[in-house]
Structure 1
Amino acid sequence: MALAASPSFVTESLRVVVTRPEREARAWAEALQSRGVLCDSLPLIEIAALPDASPLVVHWKTVSTHLAVMFVSANAVRFFMAARPAGVALANCRAWSTGPGTHAALLAAGWPAESIDSPPEMATQFDSEALWALVAKQTQEAADWAAAHASPQPTVLIVRGADTQGQLAGRDWLALQLEGVGVQVLQTVAYVRRAPALTAQQRALSQQATQDGSWWLFSSSEAAQHLLQVCPDLPIGQARALATHPRIAQRLRNAGWGRVEIVPAGLEAQAESIKSLA
């Protein structure tokens, strides 16, 4: 559904289709539009709760023993925090996030600000590499201390989503870095990511937006995969896409998108970058 173009400074000749999960897509589209970018919201990743959240409760019982809990998304925060048993404190455990959305979700959930490690809001990159640059030193020091004192390896719990077959969503790059310095990595699934069931109106929007010069905004290559899964006959060879990371951009090009551009992940810089497109 298109958002109302209320600001007088909205760029009418340029339309962006935001493909994040529904909750995030609507908020991001509204934020872009308030900065002068005409938007449609078309969620291409559906987020669902686990059929059984008891494994999350088990992880909460040991949360204070970890060096950190790393959250891959705001949804990871939302579902993990929803499983928190009464009386479990957070002060003794650090939280890691790769971007401002997840950081904001942690703050909203009550995680102490001084216990959160996340790239700054104006960072040029929001990914595992940017996070690792912040936490590598403290992680190495913790691992070295444990080895020197014959103590158990420090642990980091990664909270993430999975697809409907139970396959973990996201990359293993950060886990490999942690294991490489002597940290034990534990992983848990907090929610399910799946392709949405599009309405007739959404399918019509998909067809139109691949042919009318609209820009599809992808912050996840999974959203692009879901689009072709639910609308396999889209003429993406003549379509235009925006990617928030070079890896996503390369996957879009490999899939056959006609034109692919990279835009910043941060809201302000992204809006300005989009408005500069020809």
Structure 2
Amino acid sequence: MRVVLTRPRPEARRWADTLVARGHQVLLLPLIDIAPAPDARAVQQAWSSLPDCQAAMFVSGNAVQGFFGTGNGRDWPSTTRAWSPGPGTTRALVAAGVPPGRIDAPPADAAQFDSEALWPVVAPQVQAGARVLLVRGAGADGRPAGRDWLAQQLMQAGTHVDTVAAYARRLPQFDDEALAQARRAAGDGSVWLFSSSEAIANLRRLLPGQDWSGARAIATHERIAQAARGAGFGVVCPSRPAEADVVAALESFG
């Protein structure tokens, strides 16, 4: 079976290795480009503020890499927790040098890996008047962008929330061949793997008016599945984002 990987290229390569080892064909069509932080000075200032923060929450592995890439080799402060929404971000934090004992994340058997799954783990730590840093990506305007659910929970608990964009997400530029490959994959039996609603939005911008009714997709969250259905994908299979679950969902297509 052929799988269309839409994750940013560095993440897609790891998934490609896993899927090829399982005997699947892979087409890399990253639907989000990752660029450096739009304001490196703001990230450096965030680094300087870390010892005063109760915790820093990283929304993704890209957030970890962008933040530590601007840290000039500084060590993680012993007084600050690192919050992760899932295994990929946790692996990135450990690789960046954060001691595993300083990391909080949802349990491995969580139904989903997101802010809602993280909150029950970290809520007992939250202190009124404390500071928490949210490390995320920037949108097209260069400002931090993303879901505000966790920030709202923190502010309701009396916590002061700072936000910094450690990387930027951009619409990729597809050449004619990539556009042709995407059109063919809309109806040739390929299975698209989506881990971001933004990737689906970018696909719709790149191929406006494309008929997706004959296309199949796996989405690693129900919100993403809803976006795929909204785009017109004929078959959408939600899955936990863990590799084993995604592979099982893929192979359920037969």
User: In the alignment, what sits opposite 2:233?
Assistant: 257
1:44 equivalent to 2:31? Answer yes
Q: How does 1:83-232 map to 2 (within 5 A)?
A: 83-85=70-72, 87-139=74-126, 142-143=127-128, 153-232=129-208
Q: Is the 8 A contact 1:96 1:116 kept in 2?
A: yes
Counterpart Cα distance in 1 of 2:180 and 2:73: 46
Q: Scaled by the length of structure 1, what TM-score is found?
A: 0.86
- Mapped contact 2:58–2:84 kept (Cα < 8 A): yes
**Which residue is 1:248 aligned to?**
224
Aligned AA (1:100): P
Calculate the TM-score normalised by the size of structure 2.
0.94
CA contact (8 A) 1:90 1:112 kept: no
Q: CA deviation at 1:178?
A: 0.9
- AA partner of residue 96 (structure 1): W
8 A Cα contact 1:37 1:274, kept in partner: no
Equivalent runs, 1:15-26 vs 2, <5 Å? 15-26=2-13
* Displacement of 1:169: 3.1
Counterpart in the other structure of 1:81: 68
Q: Secondary structure at the match of 1:133?
A: helix
Task: Report the CA distance between 1:211 and its aligned residue.
Answer: 1.0
Counterpart of 2:17 (choices 17, 26, 30) is 30
Per-residue Cα deviation, 1:146-180 (whole angstroms, up to 9, x for no partner): xxxxxxx1011000001221353321111111111
One-letter amino acid of the counterpart of residue 49, structure 1: P
Conserved 8 A contact 2:56-2:80: yes
| Residue identity (%) | 46
Find the structure with the greater CA-based Rg.
1
1:43 & 1:50 partners in 2: Cα distance? 19
Offset, 1:238 = 2.2
8 A Cα contact 1:79 1:190, kept in partner: yes
Aligned residues: 254
SS in 1 for 2:169: strand
Per the TM alignment, residue 88 of structure 1 is displaced from its structure 2 partner at its CA by 4.8
Task: Quote how far apart the aligned CAs of 1:51 are.
Answer: 4.2
8 Å contact 1:100–1:120 — kept in the other structure? no
CA 193–54 in structure 1, closer or farther in 2 if over 3 Å, else same: same
Distance 2:175 2:194 in 1: 20
Secondary structure in structure 2 of the residue aligned to 1:264: coil
Q: Which is worse superposed, 215-224 or 45-54?
A: 45-54
> What SS is found at the alignment partner of 2:62?
helix
**Cα 1:84–1:259, aligned 2, differ >3 Å: closer, same or farther?**
same
Please list the CA deviations of residues 175-224 of structure 1 after superposition, one character each: whole Å capped at 9, or x if unmatched.
Answer: 11111111111111111101101123211210110011111111001001
Matched AA of 2:91: A
**Where does structure 1 lack aligned partners over 5 or more consecutive residues?**
1-13, 144-152
Does 1:235 find its partner at 2:191?
no
Write the distance in 1 (CA, Å) between the matches of 2:24 and 2:105. 27
